[in-house]
């Protein structure tokens, strides 16, 4: 199977599985506990159907959106994800370059493997910085200041990671940073030698967002310990309110799910909220963002940009989310499997297929612009 044979999410997933040592594949593909929420995320889109209008003169279709002050040429962006250079040696460079080509936003994770400053200089499309809240308030300020100086467009605070999710596939393989593989896990690396050759012959693995502030070198601290020792589980709305003021720009919370929290985000001055369950990787049994979207849009949709991620695999999923009032959507695995499968070419192909699916879907729906999409075009079964 080659990249040109990939026509959808499942094809990219299959090719990624062929290329990656299975502990890494399972880190991307896996989720928390019984992975019920992970499966529901995509299934929830099947609970409703699109109702098209026809004869609407749809020769030109405009799928651009403006979200948190950023103009995106397509309504889906690349959500921030950790450790991208483990999935392909070009990692974040490949994702940012592909996102730039398609005129959309990408997020750089706190656990990113390329420095957000470096990538900011290279690419001009909107860039979000996914932030974790540290016990050390001075450190939080220093990190935000350097992000501000770098010209980051959107600050994205992840609020659904107050403690790590229980990812049992990783426990079985021993996937962690630094690697603590089980014997079976090691064997899986041995049978995918190309991955190892690429890993060794390219830029040394590092976590630049943290390296500057935390000694992560040579296993001095693991990601597990970083979460338990450095991040602050006592974080409250008051803390976030101060950060929002300090940032004084586009600021969104990633991982909001309840109406109460959505209202609080408005009250403390956030400009966006992302309904997300982290792709099912945190609280298993929690509701899917698409199932929850209408309720949140009804409550705060006129006061703040409502965005959602988790489970999106198709252009029609994007159209359904926009019909319910999302301003834009994010996705993780929809570009991570393509990245693992074929680097930048893979991510470009994924964005191209997504763009074509959205455009085709809009034409078939009789929509010239995303503004034409509304809940009138949607029926729940
Ligand atoms: C491998 C992987 C790593 C991720 N790393 C992060 C991260 O570092 N920070 C974060 O806020 N979200 C992270 N996420 C969550 C994504 O930003 C996004 O919420 C999720 O992937 C959406 O679900 P989807 O993969 O079904 O599209 C990660 C997701 C995956 C699959």
Residue 217 has a pLDDT of 63
When pLDDT is averaged across residues 174-193 and rounded to a whole number, the result is 86
Does the Cβ of 276 fall within 6 Å of ligand 1? yes
Q: Which atom of ligand 1 is nearest to the CA of 334?
A: 27
Among 55-64, 195-204, 295-304, the minimum mean pLDDT is found in 195-204
21 Cα: distance to centroid of ligand 1 (angstroms): 19
Q: In a mutational test of the pocket of ligand 1, which residue from 82, 92, 286, 290 has the highest number of ligand atoms less than 8 Å from its CB?
A: 82
Q: Which atom of ligand 1 is the closest one to the Cα of 311?
A: 26
Residue 324: predicted pLDDT: 98
Q: How far is the C-alpha of 315 from the C-alpha of 8, rounded, in Å?
A: 10
Pairing of strands 378-380, 48-50: antiparallel
Regarding the beta carbon of 41 and ligand 1, being less than 6 Å apart is answered yes
134 is catalytic: no
Cα separation of 155 and 252, whole Å?
Answer: 6
- Ligand 1 touching residue 158 (CB < 6 A): yes
C-beta neighbour count of 219 within 10 angstroms: 11
Q: Among the atoms of ligand 1, which is closest to the Cα of residue 41?
A: 26
Q: What is the mean pLDDT of the chain?
A: 94
Asked whether 265 and 273 are in contact (CB, 8 A), the reply is yes
Burial state string for 256-276 with b = 16 or more CB within 10 A and e = fewer than 16: bbeeebbbbbbebebbbbbbb
Q: Is the CB of 342 under 6 A from ligand 1?
A: no
pLDDT band for position 340 (cuts 50, 70, 90): very high
> What SS3 class is residue 355?
helix
Cα dihedral sign, 173-205-127-157: positive
Check: CB of residue 238 under 8 Å from CB of residue 244. Answer: no
SS3 category, 289: helix
Nearest CA to ligand 1 atom 31: 28
What phi and psi, each to the nearest 5 degrees, are found at residue 273?
A: -130, 140
Residue among 10, 31, 40, 79 whose CB has most ligand 1 atoms within 8 A, to mutate: 79
Query: Does 136 have pLDDT greater than 90?
Result: no
Instruction: Evaluate: CB of 335 within 6 angstroms of ligand 1.
Output: no
**Segments of 73-144 assigned E as strands:** 76-81, 106-108, 127-131
Cβ distance 262 to 256 under 8 Å? yes
The pLDDT value recorded for residue 220 is: 65
- Taking 90 as the threshold, does the pLDDT of residue 176 lie above it? no
> What DSSP string describes 13-47?
HHHHHHHS-HHHHHHHH--STT-HHHHHHHHGGGG
Does pTM surpass 0.85? yes
- The pLDDT confidence band at residue 219, using thresholds 50, 70 and 90, is low
Query: Which residue, among 296, 318, 311, has the nearest Cα to 370 in the 3D structure?
Result: 318
Q: Give me the percent of the chain exceeding a pLDDT of 70.
A: 98
Nearest CA to ligand 1 atom 13: 81
DSSP state, residue 364: H
Number of the ligand 1 atom closest to the C-alpha atom of 42: 26
Mean pLDDT of 263-273: 98
Band of the pLDDT at 214, cuts 50, 70, 90? confident
Structure tokens at 261: 């929290």
Enter the DSSP assignment of 288: P
Tokens of 203: 């830029």
Average pLDDT over residues 263-283: 98
Q: Could you tell me if 175 and 28 are in contact, meaning their C-beta atoms sit under 8 angstroms apart?
A: no
CB 84 near ligand 1, within 6 Å: no
pLDDT tops 80 at residue 218: no
Decide: 354 and 334 in contact? Cβ < 8 Å. yes
Residue 340, C-beta contacts closer than 8 angstroms, at least 6 positions apart: 15, 16, 19, 20, 24, 25, 28, 87, 88, 346
């Amino acid at each position: 199977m080659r990249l040109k044979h990939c026509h959808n999410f499942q094809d990219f997933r299959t090719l990624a599985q062929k290329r990656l040592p299975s502990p890494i594949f399972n880190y991307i593909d896996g989720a928390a506990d019984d992975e019920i929420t992970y499966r529901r995320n995509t299934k929830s889109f099947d609970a409703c159907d699109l109702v098209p209008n026809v004869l609407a003169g749809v020769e030109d279709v405009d799928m651009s959106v403006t979200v948190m002050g950023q103009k995106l040429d397509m309504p889906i962006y690349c959500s921030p994800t950790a450790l991208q250079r483990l999935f392909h040696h070009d990692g974040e460079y490949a994702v940012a370059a592909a996102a730039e080509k398609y005129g959309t936003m990408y997020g750089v994770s706190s656990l990113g493997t390329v420095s957000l400053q470096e990538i900011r200089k290279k690419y001009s499309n909107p860039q979000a910085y996914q932030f974790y809240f540290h016990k050390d308030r001075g450190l939080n300020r220093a990190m935000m200041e350097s992000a501000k100086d770098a010209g980051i467009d959107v600050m994205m605070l992840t609020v659904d990671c107050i403690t790590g999710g229980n990812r049992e596939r990783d426990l079985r393989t021993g996937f962690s940073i630094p690697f603590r593989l089980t014997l079976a896990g090691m064997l899986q690396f041995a049978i995918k030698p190309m991955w190892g050759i690429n890993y060794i012959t390219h830029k040394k693995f590092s976590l630049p967002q943290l390296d500057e502030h935390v000694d992560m070198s040579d296993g001095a601290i693991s990601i597990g310990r970083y979460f338990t020792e450095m991040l602050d589980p006592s974080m409250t709305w008051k803390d976030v309110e101060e950060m929002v003021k300090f940032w004084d720009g586009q600021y969104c919370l990633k991982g909001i799910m309840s109406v109460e929290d959505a209202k609080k985000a408005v009250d403390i001055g956030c400009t966006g909220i992302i309904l997300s369950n982290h792709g099912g990787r945190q609280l298993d049994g929690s509701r899917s963002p698409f199932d929850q979207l209408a309720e949140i849009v009804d409550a705060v949709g006129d006061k703040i940009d409502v965005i959602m991620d988790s489970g999106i695999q198709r252009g029609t999923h994007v159209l359904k989310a926009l019909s319910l009032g999302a301003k834009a959507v994010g996705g993780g695995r929809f570009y991570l499997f393509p990245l693992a499968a074929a680097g930048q070419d893979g991510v470009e192909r994924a964005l191209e297929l997504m763009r074509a699916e959205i455009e085709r879907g809009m034409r078939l729906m009789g929509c010239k612009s995303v503004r034409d999409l509304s809940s009138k075009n949607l029926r729940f079964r």
